[in-house]
Structure 1
Amino acid sequence: MKTKTELRMVRTNCHSFILCFLLFINGIAKGQQAQPIIRFGVIADIQYAEKEDHGSRFYRNSIEKMDSCIIGLNKKKLAFNVVFGDLVDQGPKDLKPIMAHLRKLRAGYKNVLGNHDYVDVKDKEMLYKQFDMPAPHYVFEKANWMFIVLNTNEVSEYGANENSPFLKEWRDLSATLKREGRKNSLPWNGGISSIQLNWLENNLKRAQNKQKNVLVFTHHPLYPENGYEALNNREILRVLEMYPNVKGVISGHHHEGNFAYYNKIPSIVLEGMVETSKENAYGVVELYPNKIVLIGHGRMTSRTLDF
């Protein structure tokens, strides 16, 4: 039979073991949280072209910037890379050297179409094939995340084929925006069709059913509104805000970069690579269970966004 002293020692040892075990489990949880679930590279508005510099845009210099960008991204352990449109300034005639550079990315790449990518293109609905894309708009998944790539050039004068229903949709939308005095009714802005909007909502429902978080990738920003936003950004945002698993929107197009919350949805606009003669602009996004971290290089702004 144990003495009172021995029983106290047993209880003390048990308590110490339980405390150590809980601290060990807590340490594992914190360690897991300290590591991102997914890490991917981001590039926007390379806008390479064989043409003279104009203002703050140095078109030929984008090749040299891509060299250092690829070296930097290849040093990281990434799941993939995303280019947010305007790979070229004057359409596919200058695309070959940019695609050759992108193929050097060890983690591969996902492209988004931008308005400059459509310059002098005849069959606009098939343009995506030249950019190694599965479709003009598409979805892919990694871990517990779904990534939705929109084509915000679909409804536009420059992005729709003649006699396309998308062209009529653009005319109607453009007329409405002009009547309302919206600043974004400009020839280099576009939007998504009612068909694509329905496709978006179906994928958001699918992500919700699968309990996946969502990031939306676009060329034209959805927010804030300053004249660079997609033509029907408000309709798109109304759909997105219905789904709490949408954790953010990342876009290009506005080379200065930008950021704002639309209700609880963070909208990041990435700085464009083509700006300035020497300074680069690219970054790495890290996705955690409770936050998004953007680590910017060069002109790209670093941000931490808590859920």
Structure 2
Amino acid sequence: MDDFAQHEPLFTFGVIADIQYADIDDGYNYSRSRRRYYRNSLQLLRNAQESWSESAVKPEFILQLGDIIDGFNKGRNASDRALDTVLREFSSSPVEVHHVWGNHEFYNFSRSALLSSKLNSTPHTDRSLRGARAGSDIYAYHFSPFPGFTFVVLDAYDVSLLGREDSSEQYRKAMHLIKQYNSNEDLNCPPEAGGLLRRFTMFNGGFSKEQLDWLDSVLASTDEKRERVTIVSHLPVHPHSTDPICLAWNFDELLAIIRSHSSVVCFMAGHDHDGGYCQDKCTGVHHLTLEGVIETPPDSNAFSTVSVYEDRMVLRGSGRITDRVFLFPGPQSDTDHRA
């Protein structure tokens, strides 16, 4: 790893996922198999902020990969208070934060409320899907922190039962889709069929044709300009980068678009608190699923700092997160492996 860090990076950025803060005692996940440290997640965010602010090379921005506060806040009428608490920690340094939306954002807030909240980090330009297509409420945009590099933020709950009014056409279509595979009364329980079909649960979602077409158009432009593109989403889209229960509903359609373009180098996601990694054998694209803060014990950490160079990204993890080197894909990229 040290051999890759001898030269000054072009830029660096921080990454953190699944903070899920709530001012409540420790608890457990949905299946009661994992402990969750709701209050302590704020301290782990604090640790990350301190590390980034004390770095010799300060991050240009932070990627917050979704589930910033926990759904338990809603039932306690504490959603706004919890969000303000976490955002105060982020504002302790002047670094720009790009917020991704996960299922817990929609447990706490409506889609319209999120669009008008501080969790809407869409630049006020035509680089967003909403800016390009008037009337759209899809939260997807791209930004360029350095010449030749583009980051695309996707809305993994564009097609979902979450954040949509029960009476809406979007809700009806999402319900029709999930019911084709999941016959459980509680749609948060995965289908009995198992395998990749386990992804059809209520806490997941997918990408509409409108969003996929927009992404295809953005990547066509970055291909032409020979840029390096990193895509971020709350939900993973590669079956080898996560437990299938955490995959986006139509991960295969998203993967097909990535594989049809040459500019994508990395896909980053959260949601699976255990984390995961693979390199796509078709493209050499790196698929990273970041370990979640919420299930990280108080004596550890879960954040990373990524240094970007001309030909690679070097990720230095803290605590549970493993150091990695992401060599940018080339014509000889034909490996597919799990970490």
Residue equivalent to 2:63: 82
- 2:199 counterpart of 1:184: yes
Q: Would the aligned equivalents of 1:74 and 1:106 in 2 still touch at CA under 8 Å?
A: no
Distance 1:31 1:254 in 2: 28
Q: Which runs of 5+ in 2 are unaligned?
A: 29-34, 123-127, 129-138, 184-190, 329-339
Residue equivalent to 1:137: 140
Distance 2:169 2:280 in 1: 30
Relative to structure 1, the CA distance from residue 244 to residue 176 in structure 2 (aligned partners, 3 Å threshold; closer, same or farther) is farther
Relative to structure 1, the CA distance from residue 295 to residue 33 in structure 2 (aligned partners, 3 Å threshold; closer, same or farther) is closer
Aligned residue among 279, 294, 297 for 1:261: 279
- Highest CA radius of gyration, 1 or 2? 1
What do the CA deviations read for 1:18-46 (whole angstroms, capped 9, x no partner)? xxxxxxxxxxxx99993322210001000
Q: Structure 1 stretches (4+) deviating beyond 6 angstroms?
A: 30-33
Aligned residue among 267, 272, 276 for 2:292: 272
Q: Would the aligned equivalents of 2:296 and 2:320 in 1 still touch at CA under 8 Å?
A: no
Distance 1:259 1:80 in 2: 22
Distance 1:269 1:212 in 2: 23
Distance 1:62 1:53 in 2: 10
Q: Would the aligned equivalents of 1:173 and 1:231 in 2 still touch at CA under 8 Å?
A: no
Relative to structure 1, the CA distance from residue 34 to residue 176 in structure 2 (aligned partners, 3 Å threshold; closer, same or farther) is farther
Q: Which amino acid aligns with 2:289?
A: V
Distance 1:241 1:177 in 2: 26
Distance 1:176 1:147 in 2: 34
Displacement, 1:183? 1.1
Q: TM-score, normalised by structure 2?
A: 0.76
Normalized per residue, the structure richer in helix is: 1
Displacement, 1:262? 2.5
Report the 3-state secondary structure (helix = DSSP H, G, I; strand = E; otherwise coil) of the residue aligned with 2:215: helix
Q: Which amino acid aligns with 1:101?
A: E
**RMSD value, Cα:** 2.2
Show the 5 A alignment for 1:27-42: 34-42=7-15
Distance 1:302 1:33 in 2: 16
Distance 2:291 2:167 in 1: 35
Q: TM-score, normalised by structure 1?
A: 0.84
Distance 2:5 2:279 in 1: 28
Q: Would the aligned equivalents of 1:33 and 1:288 in 2 still touch at CA under 8 Å?
A: no
Displacement, 1:261? 2.0
Show the 5 A alignment for 1:152-301: 152-178=156-182, 181=193, 182-224=197-239, 226-263=244-281, 264-278=284-298, 279-301=300-322
Report the 3-state secondary structure (helix = DSSP H, G, I; strand = E; otherwise coil) of the residue aligned with 2:293: coil
- 2:112 counterpart of 1:125: yes
- 2:154 counterpart of 1:150: yes
Report the 3-state secondary structure (helix = DSSP H, G, I; strand = E; otherwise coil) of the residue aligned with 1:162: coil
Percentage of pairs with the same residue: 29
Residue equivalent to 1:27: none
Distance 1:169 1:234 in 2: 19
> Number of residues paired by the alignment?
277
